[in-house]
């Protein structure tokens, strides 16, 4: 199941349907909750980043399923197309949708993803059976990641604020790379014949935690009260998932041995 | 809510120009000698990284160059030229430094495994290809092809950026917001159009002399459709500012 060679369907773990529910519903509910609760008290803006974490984990699982077939061009490409589609769809959704912005973004990302998936299979001849479905998932996950992190940074997903506080200062580039890393890196780091879903997704949670901390630092511009919960919860997610990843790595490894330090020059003689 | 039909009718020219830019980016990727991971180990001809990273590097440099020129002039040919030259410089620098690493660091001569004679210099290639590799380094034809890739990529990227900025220009637009939004959309469109051709060529290509190059119409067709959709949503969002 290497990125370059022929592969097959990914096996085991949580079913794709559950991941879709987790990512899509979790993402949307958190984004709306963050938007409305942050109006009451800006402290709650961190919930938006939790939605982004859900979307990142879902996106990473979709990448895992499609890349198991072997794309021939490396896993990072699919993360970049996810965020490319996602950034176009999410800013379009927020610009025209108003309060329905995140839902419009999801629909736009799904349509763009479906078209690219069909083109990849039918015109480019990639012949990956789940390409259309996963391209939709990856595009939507990318869009929700961007909307979720933007909501935490700006405290709302209304377009005027997002434009002024996230897009114009260039923080959107940070979201682009942090979100893209979250979606593409987990499978890229864990791929191979011994790849396991829980270990890959532990990396996805860990990357989501880092993205959340970054969003928290940016939201410091608006209010310190809003920034602290994001940073603290992000660090907590990062620590728990990294510890989990380390534990699962030890579980999946044939043997874990300490090699000690490198020998000094005298010891070698 | 914004007036969707009105904005589209006003900006249909820009939608078409953005689509053309996307197709140019898609074409440009086929010229760039990408070797991927095998090239990083000097086991395949080309630059040792993925298509997306190279296209993004060249495209974003083009975008920065075009953006810098747009601060002083709005003339389309000037912006296109700046974008193209920026991307070409970026590609040339990447390739010349890569060649130094392959020649002086790894110690292998630049050689192509896809053709027996370099189509430009007519130098014999197959004698210099190490056993068990698909060529290594950047022979002249790949280098020239890469610079052409930078030219088309930079043209495409700056065309997309210029069209987006012009479509969003209005009497009461905050310039920093418009530039931010146009850059983000341009980057998004660039990434989509860098990945589609990289799926078409299966991750690696040596340049315009590679047999895989003949597949370009498929990727350009796909990019036309995908970019058209992206252009519609981008122009709607930007036109509604």
Taking 90 as the threshold, does the pLDDT of residue B212 lie above it? no
Average pLDDT over residues B212-217: 89
**Measured distance CA(B61)–CA(A90) in Å, rounded:** 25
Residue carrying structure tokens 């000097």: B42
What is each CA distance from B194 to A122, A140, B24, B170, in whole angstroms?
A: 18, 19, 10, 31
**Per-residue pLDDT at A244 exceeds 90:** yes
How confident is the model at residue A8, as a pLDDT? 64
Report how many helices (DSSP H) and strands (DSSP E) chain A contains, helices first: 11, 0
How does pLDDT run across B115-144, given as a tens digit for each residue?
A: 888 888 888 888 898 888 888 889 999 999
With 80 as the cut, is the pLDDT of residue A74 above it? Answer: no
User: Lowest-pLDDT range, A34-43, B40-49, B93-102, B166-175?
Assistant: B166-175
Assess whether pLDDT exceeds 90 at residue B16: yes
Give the best residue of A2, A7, A76, A92 to mutate against chain B (max B CB count within 10 A): A92
The complex's ipTM works out to: 0.86
**Chain A residues 14-73 within an 8 A CB cutoff of chain B:** 71-73
Nearest CA in chain B to A92: B237
Domain carrying residue B122: 4-239
CA A228 to chain CA centroid, Å, is 22
Nearest-Cα distance to chain B for A45, in Å, is 23
| Distance of alpha carbon A45 from alpha carbon A221, whole angstroms | 13
Per-residue pLDDT, A1: 34
B20-56 confidence digits (pLDDT tens): 999 999 999 899 998 888 888 888 888 888 877 887 7
SS3 per residue for A150-197: HHHHHCCCCHHHHHHHHHCCCHHHHHHHHHHHHHHHHHHHHCCCCCCH
Q: What's the pLDDT at A3?
A: 39
Chain A partners within 8 Å of B195 (Cβ)? 77-78, 80-81, 84
What's the residue count for chain A?
269
Residue in B with minimal Cα distance to A96 = B1
Residue B112 three-state SS:
strand
Summarised one tens digit per residue, pLDDT across range A92-144 is 999 888 888 899 999 999 999 999 999 988 888 888 888 899 999 999 999 99
pLDDT mean over A38-52? 88
C-alpha A189: how far from its chain's center? 14
Mean pLDDT computed over A154-160: 88
Given B50, B230, B237, which is nearest A73 (Cβ)?
A: B50
Query: Hey, is the C-beta of B173 within 8 angstroms of any chain A C-beta?
Result: no
pLDDT at B2: 63
Assigned token pair, B140: 């002249």
pLDDT digits (tens, 9 = 90+) for B81-121: 999 999 999 999 999 999 999 999 989 999 988 888 888 88
| Mean pLDDT across chain A | 87
Q: What is the pLDDT of residue B15?
A: 92
Would you state the structure tokens that stand for residue B238, as one six-digit string? 């930007």
Distance of CA B144 to the CA centre of its chain: 15
Question: How many domains is chain B partitioned into structurally?
Answer: 1
What whole-number percentage of chain A has pLDDT above 90? 44
Long-range residue pairs from A168-171, CB within 8 A, at least 24 positions apart, any chain = A168/B174, A168/B176, A168/B177, A168/B179, A168/B180, A168/B181, A169/B180, A170/B180, A171/A218
CB within 8 Å of chain A, chain B residues 97-136:
none
The size of the A-B interface in CB pairs under 8 A is 141
Residue B190: list chain A partners with CB under 8 A: 84
Beta-carbon separation of B188 and A87 below 8 A = yes
What is the mean predicted confidence (pLDDT) over B157-184? 86
Mutate to test the interface with A, among B199, B200, B224 (most CBs of A within 10 A): B199
The answer to whether B220 and A124 have CB atoms below 8 angstroms apart is no
Average pLDDT of chain B is 87
3-class DSSP state of B34: strand
| Boundaries of every domain in chain A | 16-268
């Amino acid at each position: 199941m290497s990125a370059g060679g022929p592969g097959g369907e990914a096996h085991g773990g949580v079913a794709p349907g559950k991941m879709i529910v987790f990512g899509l519903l979790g993402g949307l509910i958190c984004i709306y909750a963050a938007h409305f609760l942050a109006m009451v008290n800006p402290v709650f803006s961190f919930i938006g980043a939790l939605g982004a974490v859900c979307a990142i984990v879902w996106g990473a699982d979709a990448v895992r399923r499609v890349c198991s077939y072997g794309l021939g061009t490396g896993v990072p490409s699919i993360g970049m197309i996810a965020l490319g589609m996602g950034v176009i769809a999410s800013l379009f959704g927020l610009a025209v949708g108003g309060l329905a912005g995140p839902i419009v973004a999801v629909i736009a990302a799904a349509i763009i993803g479906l078209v690219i998936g069909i083109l990849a299979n039918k015109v480019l001849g990639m012949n990956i059976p789940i390409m259309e479905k996963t391209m939709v998932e990856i595009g939507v996950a990318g869009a929700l990641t961007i909307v979720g992190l933007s909501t935490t940074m700006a405290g709302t997903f209304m377009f005027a604020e997002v434009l002024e506080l996230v897009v114009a200062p260039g923080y959107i580039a940070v979201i682009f790379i942090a979100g893209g890393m979250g979606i593409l890196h987990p499978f890229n780091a864990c791929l191979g014949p011994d790849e396991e879903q829980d270990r890959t997704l532990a990396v996805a949670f860990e990357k989501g935690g880092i993205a959340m901390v970054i969003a928290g630092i940016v939201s410091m511009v608006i209010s310190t009260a809003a920034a602290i919960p994001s940073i603290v919860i992000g660090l907590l997610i990062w620590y728990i998932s990294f510890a989990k990843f380390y534990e699962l790595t030890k579980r999946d490894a044939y043997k874990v041995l300490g090699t000690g330090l490198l020998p000094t020059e005298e010891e070698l003689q | 809510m914004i007036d969707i039909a009105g904005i589209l009718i006003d900006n249909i020219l820009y939608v078409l120009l953005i689509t053309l830019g996307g197709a140019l980016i898609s074409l440009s990727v086929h010229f760039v000698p990408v070797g991927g991971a095998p090239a990083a180990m000097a086991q395949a001809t080309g630059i040792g990284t993925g298509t997306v990273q190279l296209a993004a590097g060249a495209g974003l440099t083009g975008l920065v160059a075009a953006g810098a020129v747009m601060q002083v002039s709005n003339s389309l040919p000037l912006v296109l030229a700046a974008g193209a030259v920026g991307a070409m410089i970026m590609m040339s620098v990447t390739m010349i430094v890569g060649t130094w690493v392959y020649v002086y660091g790894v110690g292998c001569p630049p050689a192509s495994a896809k053709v027996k004679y370099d189509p430009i210099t007519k130098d014999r290639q197959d004698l210099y290809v190490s056993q068990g590799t698909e060529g290594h380094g950047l022979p002249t034809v790949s280098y020239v092809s890469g610079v052409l890739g930078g030219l088309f990529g930079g043209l495409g990227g700056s065309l997309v950026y210029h069209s987006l900025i012009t479509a969003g220009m209005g009497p009461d637009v905050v310039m920093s917001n418009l530039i931010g939004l146009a850059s983000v959309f341009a980057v998004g469109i660039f990434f989509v159009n860098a990945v589609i051709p990289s799926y078409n060529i299966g991750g690696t290509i040596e340049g315009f002399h590679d047999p895989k190059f003949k597949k370009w119409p498929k990727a350009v067709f796909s990019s036309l459709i995908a970019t058209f959709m992206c252009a519609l949503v981008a122009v709607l969002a930007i036109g509604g500012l």
